[in-house]
Amino acid sequence: MSKMELLKNRTNIFLKKKKQNWEVYTSSDGSKVCSLLQQRRINIPPNLSILATINTSDESIYYLDSAFKRRWGWEYVKAPVGTFNEESIPEELRDVKLVSDAKEIEWWSDYSYYIVGINELIKSNYQVIRRIEDKQIGWWFIKPENGKVDLSEVKDKLMFYLWDSVFARDKRPLEKFLSTPNKQVKLTAYSDFIDVVEEFTQKVCELGFSSYVSKPSEF
């Protein structure tokens, strides 16, 4: 007997016992499920809804086929980019701070500025980044703990994502963003990028802060 046949027999025995137990406890639904599984079938109720989120062009898989997309109801969710205010930020993230060694960053610690700043950086380089909307990050790209996001997580997760995915083809936009009239930054290896983490986070924060407005806006 092959392994597949052995597995099939064991499955049938298991389902038969389960069905008998449910019949004892007068569970018609459970008995019906077992009968369907024994026939290698499933019964989908007419009121079943499936809710999910997805990037339409994740780099690790094939792009979603248009024919597949048409079979679903879609709702576009805009990334945190452009003008925003406190009401635009999820309530759970409004007081989240960026910290380094458990201490708040000196120049500015509001984490929301960094999220918007990163997306503004990505959007401003649309000419060299393919599918920029799928490259932008959401509010929960890094999940805070106890109202804090550590700078080490920014280095290990966010900066690596920018280096390896967003600007994988061309690092010149990052070099231009980090360079000043008095200092030209050259990024040859990822370690070069990590070495300027403080300069990078400060510039990103300033970019996000410049998008903050006092009047209500919506994402």
The per-residue pLDDT for range 81-95, each reduced to its tens digit, is: 888 888 888 888 888
As a whole number of angstroms, the distance between CA 147 and CA 6 comes to 52
Name the least confident of 36-40, 43-47, 177-181.
Answer: 36-40
**Can you read off the two tokens belonging to residue 149?**
């996001």
Sheet strands side by side (includes 148-150): 103-104, 97-100, 148-150
As a whole number of angstroms, the distance between CA 95 and CA 116 comes to 15
As a whole number of angstroms, the distance between CA 88 and CA 80 comes to 8
Is residue 117 within 8 A of residue 207, CB to CB? The reply is yes
Name the least confident of 13-22, 41-50, 78-87, 162-171.
Answer: 13-22
